Amino acid sequence: MDSVRILILNAVLGVLETVEGIGDTGGVKRMLLDVQTFPAGFVTPGNDEVIEYIGHFITREMEVDTQLGVNAEGNVLAVLEEFLPKVQQKYAADYTIGFGQGGPVLDFTELRVSEPFPFTTAENIAGIVITHKVQYRVRRDDPYSWT
């Protein structure tokens, strides 16, 4: 059984995998340097903080980063800026990232988009990071359950 954190990260990755035209995807175990098919995207966890204790539950906020990379001849930044909204649109479509009402995710919102950066020393590969805040609830005595 996976923890609620892992379920959330897998749900974010699942949404990313539905983006039209996405190539390689992965989580913590796949590295950006292993990319074979672009555009690529990787989901990794960030800070995870306790927000509130309510009875038998803990409300938490976790940052989740999606690292996107594109490979293009010519203006790689234009290709990156063209692909970014496709990902943002998919993420914005469901604030529970597929868990629905009564699931562990209370809210999923975009915090920021990084400035573009080179993926590698090659000038034709660039990346960007989208950071989201996931507010979720778990049982105080069981990080594997939200009910």
* Domain layout of the chain by residue ranges: 4-27+38-139
Q: How many CB atoms lie within 10 A of CB 106?
A: 17
Burial class (CB in 10 A: 0-12, 13-18, 19+), 122: exposed
Question: pLDDT category, 100, cuts 50, 70, 90?
Answer: very high
The three-class DSSP label of residue 1 is coil
Give me the amino acid identity at 20.
Answer: E
Quote the crossing angle between the two packed helices 4-16 and 76-92, to the nearest 10°. 120
| Structure confidence at residue 69 (pLDDT) | 92
Question: CB neighbours (10 Å) of residue 108?
Answer: 23
Query: Quick count: other Cβ atoms within 10 Å of Cβ 43?
Result: 25
Whole-number Å distance between alpha carbons of 146 and 140: 9
> Mean pLDDT in the chain?
93
Evaluate whether 64 touches 131 at the Cβ level (below 8 Å). yes
pLDDT above 80 for 122: no
Distance of CA 25 to the CA centre of its chain: 11
Does the pLDDT value for residue 29 go beyond 60? no
Give me the pLDDT at residue 119, please.
73
Residue 31 has pLDDT above 80, yes or no: no
Fold of 4-27+38-139: STM4215-like (3.30.2000)
Arithmetic mean of pLDDT, 121-139 = 92
pLDDT for position 113: 98
As a whole-number percent, the residues of the chain with pLDDT over 70 amount to 95
Average pLDDT over residues 65-83: 93
pLDDT at 45 over 90: yes
Q: CA 65 to CA 93: how far, in whole Å?
A: 17
Is-contact 67 32, C-beta < 8 A?
A: yes
> What was the pLDDT predicted at 123?
76
pLDDT of residue 30 exceeding 80, the answer is no
Specify the pTM.
0.94
